[in-house]
Structure 1
C-alpha cells in the first residue's frame, strides 16, 4: 500500500445530465481486514493529493479512503438531486462482492456540499479507490475499480511520513474582527426590529503555510484533541465537526443539534459553573430552540415515533461547550441519508429563522463565499444509509495552491447577542483548525 500505486479516475459527469452513469460499471469488493493491535485508522492513510484523501472518523472508528475511482460535481439548487441521481446510477450498475455486510461496506461515496446553491465550490461525491473501515473490533477494506483494471492489493501499513506544514501565517479574510462585529451589530438591529428571529453569521481566515498542507497531519491532530467530533476530509475540505446533521442506519434516523456556545476556561470547577449558566441562558436557549424546531420539522414528513427531548444537555468539548439535543425517528419511506440531509439544509443552526430572510441577510453581511463550510459533509452507501455532519470547525485547502487554506467559524445571532462576545466565540471556534495547523509533532 504505497504512495506509488495509481488508480483509475473517472471524469466528473456534466451536471446537466444527472441520469448519465460512469462510462463503465464499478467493480467493488469488500473483505475483512486484520491490522496489528493498536493500529489507528487514520495512520493507514498514504500520502496523496489533499483532494483525494477522505476521512470520516470518530473515537477511532469510521472510514478512511484514498484515490478516486469515480466522482461527480454539481451546482445550483438541484445539486442534491443531481448527486442522488448519479449515485443511484452508479449503485445500480456496480458489480459488488461484500463479504462483511455492515453499514459503510460495499461501494461508498463521500460527499461535501456547498452551503449556497450559487457557490462556485458546488457539491461533490467521491468514490475512493480504497476505503478502510472500522466498527468496534471489525475491520474491512473495500477496493473499487473498473472492469478492465485489477484491484490493488492493500496491506494495513502504518505510514509515518506525515509532515507538519511548517511556519503558518494567518490573515483576516473577507472582514476584519472589527468589521465582522459591525455586521453582528447590524444583524442584532434587524432582529430587534422584527425582521427575523435569528441569523448565523460566519467569518473566515486566510492561511499560508511554508510547506504544502498534508491532510493527514490535520486529521491526526484534530482526532487527538477532539475525539468526540467527527474528523472529516472530502475533496480538500477538512475539519472536526461536533454536529451530526443526520444519520440513517437500518431504518433509524438521528440528528444532533448544537446551538448555544460558551468558551471553556480549562478550570474544571469554573467550567461546570459556566455549563450551568449556559443551560439557563435565555439567549442561548432561544437560539437552540430555533435550531431544534427546524430539524424536527424537516424530519417529520419522513419519520414516525419522533423523539424530541424537552430540554437540551450541555456537550463538553476541549475548547467550548454547546447546548445539544439529539432528535430521533423511525424512517417511514425510502428517503436516502443524502436526501434527508437535503431536507435539513440549511438548518437554523447554520442559517437562521425564518430561513429565506436569514439567508438573504447572510449574503448581505458576510461579504464572502462560504464554499462548503456549513454545508453537509459525510458519506453514503448503496442502501442509502450513511452519516452527514455539518462542515463546522473546518478549512478548505486551495485546489490551485496546497500552501493556502481558508478557515471558517460562525455564531448564532439573536436579539440578545453582544458583538464583542460573538467575536470571542468565533475565535474559540477557530481554535481547533488553528491549533492543528501550528501543532508540533508529539
Structure 2
C-alpha cells in the first residue's frame, strides 16, 4: 500500500465530504430519494476526482478526460432534471459538483494544501449564501460601481503606472502613491461595509468601532451631535468617543507594522500604553448597565472607495510628501515634526504613509513624527467635540484624550533612552 496515494485519496474524500455536508444540510428537509446530490454524492464526487487524477497520471491524460467528461455530463443531467422537477433556476449545485470533482483531482495530483484551502473556501461561500445576498442587497449601485472602478484602476492601471519618479526633483512616484492610497481606502472600506451591514444592530460600542475604522473624526462628530440632542448620556458619549481613540491607535500600530517594521520597537510601548488608557471606554460600555446600552450608533459615512474620496486622499498624500521633502531639504529633518503636527490635525494616515515610505528620516525622528501626528489629531477632535457637542462633552473628551496622551508620554519617557 502506498501511503502517499492513500493520503491523496483521503484528502479528496474529505473535501467532497466537507462540501457534501453543506449541500446535504441545505436539503435536509427534502424526502429521501428526491435529492439529486447530497452528502454521499458530493463525497463520492471528490473521491472520484482523486481517483481520476491518479489514473490519468498512470494511463495518460485521455483517461482522466474521459472520466471527467462522463461525470460532468451525468451530473449535469441529474441536476437539470432536479431543477426542472422543483421549477428552480439555480446552477449552484451543478457548479459545486464540478468544483468538488476538480478539487478532488487536485488533491489526487498531490496538491493537498491548495485543494484543502479551496475546498474550505467553497464550503464557506456555499454556507453563507444568505449573508452574502444580504450584504449585496445592503450596497447601492454607486458604491458597487465605485468599488469596481477602483479595482480596475488598481489591477489594470497600477501595473502601467511608472515606478520611477515623474518629476524632476524625484518626489512623486505614481505607482507607490496609488498603492498607498488604495491600501488606506481598502481598510476604511472594511469598516464602512461593517457599518452598512450592521445597520440597526450596531450598538453604541460596535458602531463606534466600525465607524472609527472608516473615520474616527466623523464618528466623534456623530457622537457630539447625539450628545447635543440629548439622545446619549454624557458618560455613554465620552466612553464611545474614547473607543474611537483606541481604534485610531490600533490602526496606527498596524500601519507601522505593515509599512515600517523597523519602527515597531519605538512606537509599540507608547501605543500600547495609550491604547490601555483608551480602553477604559470599552470597559465601561461593555459592563452591564441600564437601558442606555440599547442606544444605537450609525454614523453617516461616505464610501471610502468613492472616486472623489480616493482622489482627494491621493492629493493629500502627494501634497504632504512634497512638503516633507522640500522642508527637509531647506530646513532640515526637524521640520518633519512641524509638518507631522499640521498634517495630523487633518489625517494621521497621510502622515504615517509619508513618514514610513515617502521620506527617510532617522528612526527616532520618524517615530516622533508619527506619535506627534496622533497627538495633534486628538487635539483637533477635542476642538470638534467642543464645537459640535458642547462644553461638557468637549471637556470630557479632552480629558480622556489628555489621559491617553499622558499614558503614552510616560511610556515614551521610560522606554526611549
The TM tier, using the shorter chain, reads under 0.3
Larger radius of gyration: 2
TM-score (norm 1): 0.20
TM-score (norm 2): 0.21
Structure with bigger strand share is 1
Structure number with higher relative contact order (C-alpha < 8 Å, ≥ 6 residues apart): 1
Structure with bigger helix share is 2
